[in-house]
Structure 1
Amino acid sequence: MRGENKRSVIVGIFVFIGIAILVAGVLTLGGQQKKFVQAIQLKAVFDDIGGLQPGNNIWFSGVKIGTVKKINFYGDSQVEVEMNVEESVQDFIRKDSKATISSDGLIGNKIIVIYGGTTMAPAVEDGDRLEAVMPLDTDGMMETLQVNNENLVEITNDLKKLTSQLAAGEGIVGAVLTDSVLADNFKSILANLNQASINSNKMLTDLNSFTSKMNQEGNLFNDLATDTTMATDLKATVESFKSSAANTEELTAKLNEISAKLDDPNTSMGMLLNDPEFAQLLKSTLNNTDSATYNLNRGLEALEYTWPFRKGFKRKAQADDKEN
């Protein structure tokens, strides 16, 4: 009888311990699931929840504030998520806050993160619907990373091929790296370019000095650029040149007209200049005139010795002697 009582006591103790453990587990799970706290219900509609399940946590500013209560299909192809949120944080969540889906760690369970909101908007109320923001698509990110990895492998292969060609002296760059003569020529080109740059700088300095001298007062170029009186005189001089050019052109036209008349054999001057027969006749006439003059001179000389005029010439000769 004593053994049976002892056994009953031991069984009762183990049953009590089991019940205590069960109650503690229920309380713990209930506390984690926020089952025994005052809560409000918020909603959000997503295009894709990415594996979110009822019971997943809800975070706000890094603090767990509730759990996902229910997931329902909404509209044509959207999903509505009902969230139980602690009533104690109601005043901190604004109506313009946003909800998005994230992960608890790198590969952890899905969670809903509530963020944003401004103090200008009122606090949320039970049954409000928050604006849903679609999270980054991890599958798309992985695909993009895969493509980037493939591109990186191709770039690495091309870079390896390029460096091997450079090491072998292929191409212009490879030749410059391996050929000492070409390298010396390249250095010479750089030296010439450097000298050309120095000469250009010197030329620019001289040009600046020249322009500064031109800008000094009293310089002709400065006077031309700034003196309005000289500009007026210069305009008058140009106009005078234009008038002279017009007169010269008119004179040239008249000279051309005169030259045309001189070339015309029908005019007297044209006949004198262009008619060979008239020139020959004129030459013959001049020769005859010269011959007649010569004969006249000889006749006058002979007249001196004729007796009617001999006394007169003697008197003239005596008068000339007296004057001498």
Structure 2
Amino acid sequence: MKSENKRSVIVGIFVFLGIAILVIGILTLGGQQKKFVKAIHLKAVFDDIGGLQTGNNIWFSGVKIGTVRKINFYGDSQVEIEMNVEEAVVEFIRKDSKATISSDGLIGNKIIVIYGGTTLAPPVQDGDRLESVMPLDTDKMMETLQVNNENLVEITADLKTLTSKLAAGEGIVGAVMTDSVLAQNFKSILVNLERASVNSNRMLADLNKFTTKLNQEGNLFNELVTDTTIVTEIKSTMSSLKTSAENTEKLTNDLNTITEKFNSKDNAIGVFLNDQQFAEDLRSTLVNTDSATYNLNKGLEALPYTWPFRKGFKRKAKEEANSDN
């Protein structure tokens, strides 16, 4: 009888412990699933949920704030997600917030992440639908990575071939790397290029200084560029120069015409300048005239001493002497 009571007590203790463990487990799981927390329902529609399941977590700013309550088909090929979100964090989630699907770790369970939102929008309310943002497709990412891996293999093979040719001295770069004379010439070319670059920089600096001086106020070039009055005066001067050039050209043409007439024997001046016989006759005439003038002067000088005119000249001398006294 006592052994049966003892057995009943032991069984009761084990049953009580089992019930306690069950209750604690239910409370723990319920706490993790936010089953015993006041919550509101939010919705989001996705084209593809990528394996998201009911009960998966919902995160906001790195904090778990709820779980996936229900998954429904929506429209033609979309999926609507109903979420339980703690009422305590509702004031931080705005109507313009967005929802996307992510992973809990690299290969962990799928989760929903709520982010964004501005203070200009009011807080969400029960039954609101958040804007959804489709996550990156891991399958497409893996396909892209596979293509990149293939390209990397090809690049590596090409690089291996290239380095082999360089080591063998093939091509310009290989020759430069293996031929010391060519390498020295290449170095000389680089030195000359560096000098040319330095000279170019110096020339550009001087050119900048020159242009700066030209742009200074009071400079003739600056006034020519900015002062419209000077431009008008220059235009007027150029017009005057053009007129003068035209007049000079006309004068030159007239002088050429006159010169041509001087060189011709059809006029008096042309004959005077170009007819040799006329020049000889004129020279002879001038010689004869000079000789006649000389003889006339001699005759006039001897005239006072000739007998018919001697008295007249003496009388004139006396009158001039009396007039002087």
TM-score by length of 1: 0.67
Segment of structure 1 superposing worse, 243-252 or 178-187: 243-252
Q: Output the CA distance in 1 between the equivalents of 2:81 and 2:214.
A: 84
CA RMSD of aligned residues (A): 4.1
Q: Output the CA distance in 2 between the equivalents of 1:87 and 1:212.
A: 70
User: For each residue in 1:111-154, what CA deviation from the matched residue of structure 2 results, as whole angstroms up to 9, or x when unmatched?
Assistant: 11111222222221111111111111122122222222222222
Query: What are the within-5 Å matches in structure 2 for residues 244-259 of structure 1?
Result: 244-250=248-254, 252=256
Q: Output the CA distance in 1 between the equivalents of 2:34 and 2:213.
A: 90
Count of residues in Structure 1 that have an aligned counterpart in Structure 2: 262
Aligned residue in 2 for 1:53 = 53
Q: Output the CA distance in 1 between the equivalents of 2:180 and 2:19.
A: 91
Aligned residue in 2 for 1:240 = 244
Q: Output the CA distance in 2 between the equivalents of 1:212 and 1:27.
A: 83
Matched, 1:134 2:134: yes
TM-score by length of 2: 0.67
Segment of structure 1 superposing worse, 150-159 or 94-103: 150-159
Q: Output the CA distance in 1 between the equivalents of 2:193 and 2:44.
A: 69
Query: Displacement of 1:197 after TM fit?
Result: 5.5
User: For each residue in 1:234-254, what CA deviation from the matched residue of structure 2 results, as whole angstroms up to 9, or x when unmatched?
Assistant: 764554333222333355467
One-letter amino acid of the structure 2 residue matched with residue 77 of structure 1: S
Taking a change above 3 Å as real, the CA distance of residues 116 and 189 of structure 1, as seen in their structure-2 partners, is closer
Taking a change above 3 Å as real, the CA distance of residues 196 and 141 of structure 1, as seen in their structure-2 partners, is closer
Taking a change above 3 Å as real, the CA distance of residues 172 and 251 of structure 1, as seen in their structure-2 partners, is same
Taking a change above 3 Å as real, the CA distance of residues 126 and 251 of structure 1, as seen in their structure-2 partners, is same
Q: Output the CA distance in 2 between the equivalents of 1:208 and 1:34.
A: 73
Q: Output the CA distance in 2 between the equivalents of 1:200 and 1:55.
A: 72
Query: Displacement of 1:163 after TM fit?
Result: 1.5
Q: 2:100 aligns to what SS in structure 1?
A: strand
Query: Displacement of 1:47 after TM fit?
Result: 0.8
Q: Output the CA distance in 1 between the equivalents of 2:93 and 2:206.
A: 74
One-letter amino acid of the structure 2 residue matched with residue 182 of structure 1: L
Q: Output the CA distance in 2 between the equivalents of 1:8 and 1:214.
A: 114
Taking a change above 3 Å as real, the CA distance of residues 86 and 212 of structure 1, as seen in their structure-2 partners, is closer
Unaligned runs of 5+ in 2: 267-325
Aligned residue in 2 for 1:307 = none
Matched, 1:172 2:172: yes
Query: Displacement of 1:181 after TM fit?
Result: 1.8
How many percent identity over aligned positions?
A: 74
Taking a change above 3 Å as real, the CA distance of residues 57 and 194 of structure 1, as seen in their structure-2 partners, is closer
Taking a change above 3 Å as real, the CA distance of residues 204 and 142 of structure 1, as seen in their structure-2 partners, is closer
Q: Output the CA distance in 1 between the equivalents of 2:200 and 2:118.
A: 63
User: For each residue in 1:42-72, what CA deviation from the matched residue of structure 2 results, as whole angstroms up to 9, or x when unmatched?
Assistant: 1111111110000111111211111111100
Q: Output the CA distance in 1 between the equivalents of 2:52 and 2:115.
A: 18
Q: Output the CA distance in 2 between the equivalents of 1:31 and 1:119.
A: 30
Segment of structure 1 superposing worse, 122-131 or 194-203: 194-203
Aligned residue in 2 for 1:17 = 17
Query: What are the within-5 Å matches in structure 2 for residues 62-77 of structure 1?
Result: 62-77=62-77
Q: 2:130 aligns to what SS in structure 1?
A: strand
Aligned residue in 1 for 2:105 = 105
Query: Displacement of 1:73 after TM fit?
Result: 0.3
Q: 1:121 aligns to what SS in structure 2?
A: coil
Q: Output the CA distance in 1 between the equivalents of 2:221 and 2:213.
A: 10
Q: Output the CA distance in 2 between the equivalents of 1:202 and 1:124.
A: 66
Query: What are the within-5 Å matches in structure 2 for residues 1-324 of structure 1?
Result: 1-194=1-194, 236=240, 239-250=243-254, 252=256
Taking a change above 3 Å as real, the CA distance of residues 257 and 214 of structure 1, as seen in their structure-2 partners, is farther
Q: Output the CA distance in 2 between the equivalents of 1:8 and 1:179.
A: 100
